[in-house]
């Protein structure tokens, strides 16, 4: 969520993510007449075995607990929790969904997405 919201990872990383969201929205408009949909999925902190959060959990448990505590769900996301909405977007059930940034972060984001 470093694109739509300023956070500790703002700077080049957040700027690039913001640009991708804007670019994909433009693609959606350009390609809609050809039946092509374009969307972005913005996952929040996602825990993957052997990933960065697993490393932080063992190397900096205080930071890990802070990150977990910031999320209203009380846990970091899982790959499965991110994958399910991606599968939906790729399915025909989402035929009218294009040009959106689907936030999958367990209510972590504090801003209202318009």
Show me where the domains of the chain are located.
12-104
Token pair listed for 11: 């700077």
Active site residue 23: no
What is this structure's pTM?
A: 0.84
Structure tokens, 17: 């993510």
Q: Of residues 13, 15, 55, 90, which has the active-site annotation?
A: 13
What digits encode the pLDDT tens for the residues 5-15?
666 656 888 88
Task: Please report the beta strands in 1-114, taking only residues with DSSP state E, as ranges in sequence order.
Answer: 40-43, 101-104
Paired tokens of 10? 């703002």
Number of Cβ atoms within 10 Å of the Cβ of 37: 17
Q: Which pair of tokens denotes residue 48?
A: 């993957």
| Superfamily (CATH) of domain 12-104 | NAD(P)-binding Rossmann-like Domain (3.40.50.720)
Give the model confidence (pLDDT) of 4-51 as tens digits.
566 665 688 888 888 999 999 999 999 999 999 999 999 999 999 999
């Amino acid at each position: 969520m470093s694109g739509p919201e300023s956070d500790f990872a703002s700077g080049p990383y957040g700027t690039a993510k913001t640009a991708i969201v804007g670019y994909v929205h433009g693609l959606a408009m350009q390609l809609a007449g050809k039946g092509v949909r374009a969307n972005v999925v913005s996952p929040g902190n996602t825990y993957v075995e052997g990933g960065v959060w697993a490393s932080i959990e063992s190397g900096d448990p205080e930071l890990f607990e802070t990150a977990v505590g910031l999320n209203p769900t009380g846990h970091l996301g899982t790959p499965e929790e991110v994958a399910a909405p991606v599968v939906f977007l790729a399915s025909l059930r989402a035929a009218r969904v294009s040009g959106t940034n689907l936030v999958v972060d367990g209510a972590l984001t504090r801003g209202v997405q318009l």
